[in-house]
Amino acid sequence: MAGGTYIDQDKLDQVAAQSPDLAKPGCYVFACASPRGSLPVYVGQASRNIFREAFNPRNINNLNTYLSYRKRGRIELYVIHQSAVRGDTGELSRIPRRLVGLSQAASGAGSSRAA
């Protein structure tokens, strides 16, 4: 469906209601599934709510654009949430850069970026 919407808001609302950990701060990775594994597409960090940040209007638009150029595949969301919100979040802030480095090493390309 060229130029259409690929991200279903109703399904997103269902996932958010079923997964309370997505309301926590943390990091997330969008990846495109393929028969040979997953290709990281975007790495981001949320200081308050992973789900709201991951699926903000800009990210949804970017995902829809990305998917419109793919012949097949589906988007996967990997989440690393902070279990205790109190205290130093220094480690949490270092995770996105580490994930970008790992994904670049695995894919051999520099297309992923940190938010």
Q: Please give the full DSSP string across 76-96, using - where no structure is assigned.
A: EEEEEE-S--SS--HHHHHHH
**What proportions of the chain, in percent to the nearest 5, are helix, strand and coil?**
45, 25, 35
Record the pTM: 0.70
Residue 48 lies in domain: 19-107
pLDDT tens sequence across 50-95: 889 998 999 888 888 888 887 777 888 888 887 765 655 566 666 6
Assess if residue 76 is contained within a domain. yes
Structural domain count, the chain: 1
pLDDT at 80: 84
Assess if residue 115 is contained within a domain. no
Assess if residue 82 is contained within a domain. yes
The single residue listed with the structure tokens 């259409």 is 4
Task: At 4, list the tokens.
Answer: 């259409």
End-to-end CA distance of the chain: 28
Assess if residue 14 is contained within a domain. no
Assess if residue 73 is contained within a domain. yes
Assess if residue 27 is contained within a domain. yes
Assess if residue 9 is contained within a domain. no
